Amino acid sequence: MSDSIDTARETMEHAHHETPDSPARKIAVLVAVLAAALALAEMGEKGAQNAYLTHHITASDDWAFYQAKTVRANLYTTQADLLDSLPNAADPAVHARSEADRATARRLEDDDKTIGRKQLLAKAQASEQRRDAAFHRYHLFEIVVSALQIAIVLASVSVVTRVIALAFGAAILGGAASLFALAVAFELF
């Protein structure tokens, strides 16, 4: 038992005489750098998440507008068909109304002055592509955030266990995650 007490005393004396460049201090700096990288990655993650939600709402609105135009065009086409099936379809007034309804249905299909179904289709598909790209970036940032959190844990455990290999692993993982975050931020993926 006295050997244990002597060993504990020596360890405590050694701890009080650690140099300013001790591994624990270096690891503390590593943890601080990793925490800063984590904060920046989480900002990127939230930005990508907000972009995803914005583009998702835009795509949903575009598709709803497309569906509304489709319903309106179908109503005008149905009304024209109904007018053409009436017994007095040869009447010039009925025929003119039928042609006006068909023209309106065509305008709702493709109109450069306003926005026709054809233009809305392209707009909705573009919104979906932007939404999907933002969602992909969001998931990539989630991976970065997770890797940085693991790196911080490894670095913290290395201080307690005094296993320097864990600190090196944390530095490598944190550095790789930070480089990956930069690539995601500059949309290289």
pLDDT tens digits for 12-29?
A: 565 555 565 689 999 999
Q: What is the DSSP letter of 187?
A: T
Which amino acid is residue 116, in one-letter code? G
Kindly state whether residue 126 falls inside one of the protein's structural domains: yes
Task: With a cut of 70, say whether residue 98 has pLDDT above it.
Answer: yes
Residue-averaged pLDDT of the chain: 90
What is the domain range of residue 73?
23-185
- Token pair of 169, please? 């692993």
Percentage, residues of the chain above pLDDT 70:
89
Kindly state whether residue 159 falls inside one of the protein's structural domains: yes
pLDDT of residue 159: 92
**Taking the model in full, what pTM does it have?**
0.76
Kindly state whether residue 83 falls inside one of the protein's structural domains: yes
Kindly state whether residue 113 falls inside one of the protein's structural domains: yes
Kindly state whether residue 11 falls inside one of the protein's structural domains: no
Q: How many CA atoms lie within 13 A of 72 on its CB side?
A: 15
Kindly state whether residue 10 falls inside one of the protein's structural domains: no
Kindly state whether residue 3 falls inside one of the protein's structural domains: no
Kindly state whether residue 102 falls inside one of the protein's structural domains: yes
How many independent structural domains does the chain possess? Answer: 1
d(CA 136, CA 141) in angstroms, rounded, equals 9
CA-closest candidate to residue 182, choices 19, 7, 41: 41
CA-closest candidate to residue 144, choices 104, 114, 175, 120: 175
